[in-house]
Amino acid sequence: MEDNDTVRNDHLAYMRLALSLARKSPPKPTNFCVGAVLVDAATNTVLSTGYTLELPGNTHAEQCCLQKHAAAHDLPEEQVSRALPAETVIYTTMEPCGKRSPGNLPCVERILRTRTDQKGGISKVYLGVKEPEKFIGQNVGQTKLREAGIECIHVPGLEKDILETATAGHIKESDA
């Protein structure tokens, strides 16, 4: 018997959508191409989508998702929680970053910030793969989220495609 959560939301379908978004990200050797989908789990509807470098600047998928949703409600990203339903969740092909290059706020902080007012904000993060230890060593993203009471749930099944897409712009050993 499937639990209610599985009945209401097709996690793999949302992860596939996130992967199709990740494929739109311009490949670059210094980051990962990631896709993200913000979902109202109560009504099973997509609120916003994003992919790495979709918005101007050095933008991450989760960041684009939140910034686009905020902009659609005439809000700055810091106040996006005002436009988030009580059961908001995010699907991302790669676990959110806990650390970024200087001057960029990590996506974990952006997600935690949605929970600072009385309303729920983002309560669950569904992720396709952990971040490979290539740029920042071990990503502390999931640990930070869990410590703050946000559930991090691995959605299995697309790891190979997600990693191939994420590293599309990387220099392969065979090319060196």
Name the residues that contact ligand HJL, by CB under 6 A: 30-32, 34, 52, 58, 60-62, 92, 94, 96-97, 100-101, 104, 107, 131, 135-136
Q: Which does 34 bind (CB under 5 to 8 A by kind): Zn ion, ligand HJL, none?
A: ligand HJL
Residue type at 160 in one-letter notation: K
As measured in angstroms, the least distance from the Cβ of 139 to ligand HJL is 7
**Among residues 60 and 68, whose Cβ is nearest to Zn ion?**
60
Q: Provide the phi-psi class of 157: left if phi over 0, else alpha when psi is between -120 and 50, else beta.
A: left
Best CA proximity match to 80, nearest among 56, 124, 48 = 48
Contact flag: residue 144 with Zn ion (CB under 5 A): no
As measured in angstroms, the least distance from the Cβ of 35 to ligand HJL is 8
Active site includes 62? yes
Q: Helices 159-166 and 11-22 sit at what angle, rounded to 10 degrees?
A: 20
Distance, in Å, from the CA atom of 112 to the CA atom of 116, rounded to the nearest integer, reads 7
Cα torsion 73, 109, 151, 4 to 10°: value is 10
Under 8 Å between Cβ of 51 and 24? yes
Which among 2, 54, 62, 133 is annotated as catalytic? Answer: 62
- When binding is defined by CB under 5 A, the residue of 97, 127, 150, 155 that contacts Zn ion is 97
Contact flag: residue 110 with Zn ion (CB under 5 A): no
Catalytic residues: 62
